[in-house]
Amino acid sequence: GDSVTQMEGPVTLSEEAFLTINCTYTATGYPSLFWYVQYPGEGLQLLLKATKADDKGSNKGFEATYRKETTSFHLEKGSVQVSDSAVYFCALSHGDSSYKLIFGSGTRLLVRP
């Protein structure tokens, strides 16, 4: 079945460092791909998405490119801030079950001043 694999955390960075969180997926065809963020004590917020190969999703300085050849959707940000500390989830939805999101296990990011 469809699945999402994320790099394990926690990822600890200093403010203004470059961020990469790896995400790979297993799915037939062309799923839609998402990154969600969960701040402490809150629900999930959609950060960005891409619906077809080579699409780049971007929001709030974060970017991710849908790579069909490597089945990846890595999250990047050029300069992280303390306020970016949160848990990041990669997810996909697919085909006839497009209403159903399949999530990775999450990666905790801690940004130190």
Partner 1 sequence: DAGVTQSPTHLIKTRGQHVTLRCSPISGHKSVSWYQQVLGQGPQFIFQYYEKEERGRGNFPDRFSARQFPNYSSELNVNALLLGDSALYLCASSFTANTEAFFGQGTRLTVV
Contacting positions for partner 1 (CB under 8 A)? 4, 36, 41-46, 89, 91, 97-106
Q: How far is the CB of 95 from partner 1 (least distance, A)?
A: 11
Maximum Cα interatomic distance, the chain, rounded to a whole number of Å: 45
First to last CA, the chain: 41
Tokens of 107: 């990666």
> How many Å apart are CA 66 and CA 57, to the nearest integer?
8
Q: Which is nearer to partner 1, 99 or 113 (CB)?
A: 99
Q: Which is nearer to partner 1, 42 or 69 (CB)?
A: 42
Q: Which is nearer to partner 1, 1 or 113 (CB)?
A: 1
Q: How far is the CB of 37 from partner 1 (least distance, A)?
A: 11
Of 59, 76, 95, nearest to 11 by C-alpha is: 76
Q: How far is the CB of 4 from partner 1 (least distance, A)?
A: 8
